């Protein structure tokens, strides 16, 4: 029995969803509404004490961390392999997954937080937010959510994140100018990992992702968008439907 605890099929939740769809593995879905902070409620903390999503339970084994779950799915179930067969290809796949998780995603996230930091809130809403943040198990996540909700960034932090994100994009563009996929010539978990963070980049001019400046990233995004598993994964969305990917349709 396989159950995936997840939110919308984007960012961290999208990674195992898309992996399961690529492998053709059936699974039970358990919706966790991040907008209601379901991931910090006692019933979910019994599944994942860290209060992060996604989480997966397979025959009684509890699994956390989206990229690690992706590798587990690829190795534990039959279906198309999503890891290169050669050692160099597997190294390259894991290098890009770590790069996305530890560098690109955090830099992009700060930009997203900054766009929402000027939201007006009533005193009651502020108190409610403070209570919700206090319920987060991990200290580093409490700090991150405090910044996200209240814009408590140190001077220069957002500017450095924007600079680093553009640098990261440059590395991806250079690599994809020489290789079809991130791990080389084989579609892999690295592409799924990166797509779920980078898919919105063309809609945000500050990223520099566009047909003129990053044609290879754009082609890579188009190709992943066109994969049947991508559509199946995004059709699972409730708030963010498949139309959230509409900007990746090729021009007629």
Phi and psi angles of residue 177, each rounded to the nearest 5 degrees, phi first? -75, -15
Q: Which CATH architecture has domain 87-248?
A: Up-down Bundle (1.20)
pLDDT over 90, % of the chain: 68
User: pTM for the whole thing?
Assistant: 0.92
Domain with CATH 1.20.1050.10 in the chain: 87-248
Q: Which CATH architecture has domain 2-76?
A: 3-Layer(aba) Sandwich (3.40)
Residue 119 is predicted with a pLDDT of 64
Q: Work out the pLDDT band at 118, boundaries 50, 70, 90.
A: low
Longest dimension (CA), the chain: 57
Domain with CATH 3.40.30.10 in the chain: 2-76
Residue 175 region, left (φ>0) first, then alpha (ψ -120 to 50), else beta?
alpha
Query: Does residue 140 surpass a pLDDT of 90?
Result: no
Write the CB contacts of 5 (distance below 8 Å, at least 6 apart in sequence): 30, 32, 44, 47, 48, 53, 54, 55, 56, 57
| More confidently predicted of 116 and 233 | 233
Residue 114 is predicted with a pLDDT of 65
Q: Work out the pLDDT band at 234, boundaries 50, 70, 90.
A: very high
d(CA 218, CA 201): 10
Among 223, 199, 224, 193, smallest CA distance to 96 is for 193
| More confidently predicted of 25 and 206 | 25
- Residues composing the chain: 252
Please state the rounded mean pLDDT for residues 182-205.
95
Query: Does residue 111 surpass a pLDDT of 90?
Result: no
Q: Work out the pLDDT band at 81, boundaries 50, 70, 90.
A: very high
Residue 238 is predicted with a pLDDT of 87
Please state the rounded mean pLDDT for residues 36-45.
91
Please state the rounded mean pLDDT for residues 153-157.
85
Please state the rounded mean pLDDT for residues 82-91.
96
| More confidently predicted of 217 and 155 | 217
Query: Does residue 83 surpass a pLDDT of 70?
Result: yes
Query: Does residue 116 surpass a pLDDT of 60?
Result: no
């Amino acid at each position: 029995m396989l159950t995936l605890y997840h939110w919308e099929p984007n960012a961290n939740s999208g990674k195992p969803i898309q992996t399961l769809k690529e492998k053709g593995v059936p699974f039970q879905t358990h919706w966790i509404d991040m907008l209601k902070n379901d991931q910090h409620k006692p019933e979910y903390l019994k599944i994942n004490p860290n209060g992060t999503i996604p989480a997966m339970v397979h025959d009684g084994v509890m699994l956390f961390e989206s990229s690690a779950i992706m590798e587990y799915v690829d190795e534990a179930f039959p279906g198309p392999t999503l890891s290169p067969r050669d050692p160099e290809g597997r190294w390259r796949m894991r290098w890009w997954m770590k790069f996305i998780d530890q560098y690109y995603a955090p830099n992009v996230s700060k930009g997203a937080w900054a766009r929402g930091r000027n939201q007006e809130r009533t005193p009651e809403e502020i108190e409610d937010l403070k209570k919700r943040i206090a319920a987060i198990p991990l200290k580093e996540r409490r700090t991150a959510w405090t910044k996200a909700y209240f814009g408590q960034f140190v001077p220069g932090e957002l500017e450095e994140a924007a600079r680093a994100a553009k640098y990261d994009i440059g590395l991806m563009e250079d690599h994809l100018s020489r290789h079809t996929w991130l791990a080389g010539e084989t579609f892999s978990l690295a592409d799924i990992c990166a797509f779920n963070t980078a898919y919105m980049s063309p809609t945000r001019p500050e990223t520099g992702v566009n047909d003129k400046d990053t044609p290879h990233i754009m082609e890579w995004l188009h190709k992943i968008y066109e994969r049947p598993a991508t559509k199946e994964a995004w059709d699972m969305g409730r708030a963010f439907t498949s139309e959230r990917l509409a900007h990746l349709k090729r021009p007629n």
